[in-house]
């Protein structure tokens, strides 16, 4: 029985209690008011305003182009739509790397201008100082390890990460560092299930997996992928709950036909 369904506002403390009670954490992305409202009403625990907005909303090939201003626009739209979920916002590429003061400034802008509850950033040891600085200013931080899409040009492909022992060892050490720095949770993206289990069992804070198997403390998917709005992308880890691309296309076809055939609007739809 998930006693956490009754929680009025999910906080980082709720997520910690969920891990301790063995209740899985659900997380989905959202980037706008209308869908955030539906996702929140659907009972998701965490809404991630992901920099995947760069791909999904803006049509870029990578997450690199999205700006801090654009992330704030998406985040403030999402915040206006939610009652219960914890809203976490990605720090976009170029807003935190290599400079912890800039990381804090970017975070402060997100928190002040959007009203979100926490930020997420990618990397381990490289961002340790930034994580500490942001947390010391009172803002909760979610880490992100494994496939970190802001480093796509370093990786070269979107394939599974940490299949070799040296990368797996670094990931385990980075997860410990993020926890020591004070992160409230860590996303593990596209890593072997066995490694995700090992990391999850070694941490006291929750892990949230995407393409990381069933043993993480929670799961996250990109909303538009799980709704089937984007039908070009079919990685193995993605479960599609709807096929909205086809459904929306059919509805648009019907509307176009109704307009062309003068069937819309009819008398009852007119003033």
User: Could you tell me the smallest distance in angstroms from the CB atom of residue 220 to ligand KIV?
Assistant: 5
Residue closest to ligand KIV (Cβ): 50
C-beta closer to ligand KIV: residue 133 or 224: 224
Check if 189 is active-site: yes
C-beta closer to ligand KIV: residue 107 or 256: 107
The answer to whether 215 and 202 have CB atoms below 8 angstroms apart is no
Closest to 94 in 3D by CA, of 105, 79, 83: 105
User: Could you tell me the smallest distance in angstroms from the CB atom of residue 51 to ligand KIV?
Assistant: 5
Written as six digits, the tokens of 253 are 């076809």
C-beta closer to ligand KIV: residue 21 or 222: 222
Q: Catalytic: which of 20, 61, 189, 201?
A: 189
User: Could you tell me the smallest distance in angstroms from the CB atom of residue 252 to ligand KIV?
Assistant: 26
Q: From CA 229, how far away is CA 249, in angstroms rounded?
A: 10
User: Could you tell me the smallest distance in angstroms from the CB atom of residue 187 to ligand KIV?
Assistant: 5
Binding site for ligand KIV (CB under 6 A): 29, 48, 50-52, 90, 187, 189, 210, 220, 222
User: Could you tell me the smallest distance in angstroms from the CB atom of residue 173 to ligand KIV?
Assistant: 21
Task: Give the containing element (helix H, strand E) for 128.
Answer: helix 128-136
Q: Which burial class, exposed, middle or buried, applies to 136 when counting CB atoms under 10 A from its CB (0-12, 13-18, 19+)?
A: exposed
C-beta closer to ligand KIV: residue 203 or 210: 210
CB atoms inside a 10 Å sphere around CB 41: 13
Strand residue runs (E) in the chain: 25-29, 46-49, 86-90, 118-120, 141-146, 185-189, 207-210, 218-221
Q: Which burial class, exposed, middle or buried, applies to 149 when counting CB atoms under 10 A from its CB (0-12, 13-18, 19+)?
A: buried
C-beta closer to ligand KIV: residue 162 or 220: 220
Angle between helix 100-114 and 128-136 (nearest 10): 40
Task: Report, as residue numbers or ranges, the catalytic residues.
Answer: 189
């Amino acid at each position: 029985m998930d006693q956490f369904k009754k929680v009025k506002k999910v906080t980082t403390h709720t997520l910690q209690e969920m891990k301790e009670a063995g209740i899985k954490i659900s997380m989905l992305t959202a980037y706008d008011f209308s869908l955030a409202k539906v996702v929140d009403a659907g009972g998701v625990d965490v809404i991630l305003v992901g920099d995947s907005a760069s791909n999904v909303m803006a049509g870029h090939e990578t997450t690199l182009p999205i700006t801090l201003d654009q992330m704030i626009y998406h985040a403030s739209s999402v915040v206006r739509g939610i009652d219960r979920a914890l809203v976490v916002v990605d720090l976009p590429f170029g807003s935190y790397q290599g400079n912890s003061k800039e990381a804090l400034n970017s975070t402060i802008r997100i928190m002040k201008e959007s009203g979100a509850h926490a930020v997420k950033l990618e990397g381990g040891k490289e961002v340790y100082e930034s994580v500490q600085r942001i947390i010391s200013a009172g803002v909760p931080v979610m880490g992100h390890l494994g496939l970190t899409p802001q480093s796509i040009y370093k990786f070269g492909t979107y394939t599974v990460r940490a299949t070799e022992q040296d990368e797996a060892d670094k990931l385990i050490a980075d997860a410990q560092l993020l926890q020591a720095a004070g992160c409230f949770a860590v996303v593990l993206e596209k890593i072997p299930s066995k490694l995700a289990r090992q990391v999850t069992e070694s941490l006291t804070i929750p892990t949230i997996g995407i393409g990381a198997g069933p043993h993480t403390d929670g799961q996250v998917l990109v909303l538009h992928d799980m709704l089937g709005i984007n039908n070009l992308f079919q990685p193995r880890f993605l479960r599609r709950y709807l096929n909205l691309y086809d459904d929306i296309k059919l509805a648009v076809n019907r509307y176009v036909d109704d307009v062309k055939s003068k069937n819309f609007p009819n008398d009852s739809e007119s003033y």
